[in-house]
Amino acid sequence: MTRTVAVLGAGTIGSAIIKGLSRSGSEFRVIATAKSEATLARVRQLGVDATRDNVKAVEEADLVILTVKPYSVREVLAEVSAALDGKPLVSLAAAVSTRSLASWVPRAKVIRGMTNINVEVSEGFTTLSAGPNCDQAARSTAEEFFRRLGHVEWVDERYLDALTALSGSAPAFIAEVIDALALGGIAAGLPRDLAYRATLMAMMGTSRNLLESGRSPHQIRDMVLTPAGTTIRGVMVMQGNGLKRTLMEAVLEAAKRASEMREELGLE
């Protein structure tokens, strides 16, 4: 049986979800909403229904995915509250807790989640936390949906600010690292396209190696190092310039911003 999912606020992450579903061959029917005609036109080109009417989209949906900005969550939920009665709602808005969500739509089955743009290529990492009114049926529906877009884990909600900073923001951080490595290759004399391909394949292969072998990052590093070799010279430069500290601080700052946003929104 075909089920319908409403994606409310089909911006960057909403569009990535739609593209990932199309790629996975999912049987879910999608209704996406947006405010601007340009966004609606772009979403329709992805082969799904698109409308400005959030209420209509929710009324037709078996599952609702909220992908609007945190500052718009309360307004949008007030608009669709009656239509959400008894339906699973997954909010991907940073900083907005299940407690707040459940207080605004008390008859919805609330789930808070975090994912990243890699859902576009069915390689997302989605973490979910069930709210107070969420039952097993709602959990199963949400998990089945996001498994079509990559890996899914249920986590304690207290981890979601950190996961917003790590999982949600990590594609941007990793892209910066890839760009830097590729530019280094160009500086060493490689053609641009070759430098980027070499970097991307090394990044993808290393990730797969770590996942499948169970090795830790330092074990991979030590496997590549040789005494007085090329790699140790590069590692010396990275350590000297504080690469690890920089990346650690980037994650901490992003997590701090999630907490700040909650305060700005006046939420607990």
- Looking at the fold, whether 203 and 239 belong to one and the same domain comes out as yes
The rounded distance, in Å, linking the Cα atoms of 32 and 201 is: 34
User: What is the reported pLDDT for 26?
Assistant: 75
d(CA 94, CA 89): 15
Q: Torsions phi, psi of 154, nearest 5? A: -90, 130
Hey, which bits of the chain come out as E strands? 4-8, 29-33, 49-51, 63-66, 88-91, 109-114, 124-130, 150-154
For residue 26, being part of any structural domain is answered with yes
Is residue 175 domain-resident? Answer: yes
- Note whether 29 and 2 are within 8 A (CB): yes
Domain boundary among 112, 128, 160: 160
* 3-class DSSP state of 125: strand
Count of CB atoms situated within 10 Å of the CB of 196: 18
Alpha carbons 116 and 165: distance in angstroms, whole number: 11
User: What is the reported pLDDT for 133?
Assistant: 87
Q: Are 59 and 83 in contact (CB under 8 A)?
A: yes
Whole-number pLDDT of residue 150:
97
pLDDT of residue 166: 93
Domain count, the chain: 2
Q: Which two tokens stand for residue 98?
A: 């299940």
Identify whether 251 is part of a domain. yes
pLDDT in the model for residue 65: 98
Would you give the distance in Å from CA 267 to the centre of its chain?
Answer: 22
Domain boundary among 129, 160, 191: 160
Q: Do 185 and 58 meet the contact criterion of CB atoms below 8 Å apart?
A: no
Of 205, 177, 206, 183, nearest to 195 by C-alpha is: 183
For the whole model, what pTM was predicted? 0.93
8 A C-beta contact, residue 110 and residue 89: yes
Tell me, yes or no, whether 65 and 152 share the same domain: yes
State whether 178 and 153 are in the same domain. no
Q: Give the pLDDT score at 2.
A: 83
Q: DSSP label at 167?
A: I
DSSP code of 96? -
Q: Cβ of 224: how many Cβ atoms within 10 Å?
A: 13
- Indicate if 247 and 156 belong to the same structural domain: no
Same domain, 57 and 134: yes
Q: What pLDDT does 23 receive?
A: 87
* CATH assignment of the domain containing 85: 3.40.50.720
| Separation of alpha carbons 52 and 40, rounded Å | 8
Please report, for the domain that includes residue 185, its CATH number: 1.10.3730.10
Q: How far is CA 41 from the centre of its chain?
A: 23
165 within some domain: no
- Residues of the chain scoring pLDDT < 50: none
Closest C-alpha to 90, from 43, 146, 21 = 146
What domain range includes position 146? 4-160
Amino acid, res. 211: L
* Residue 124, domain member (yes or no): yes
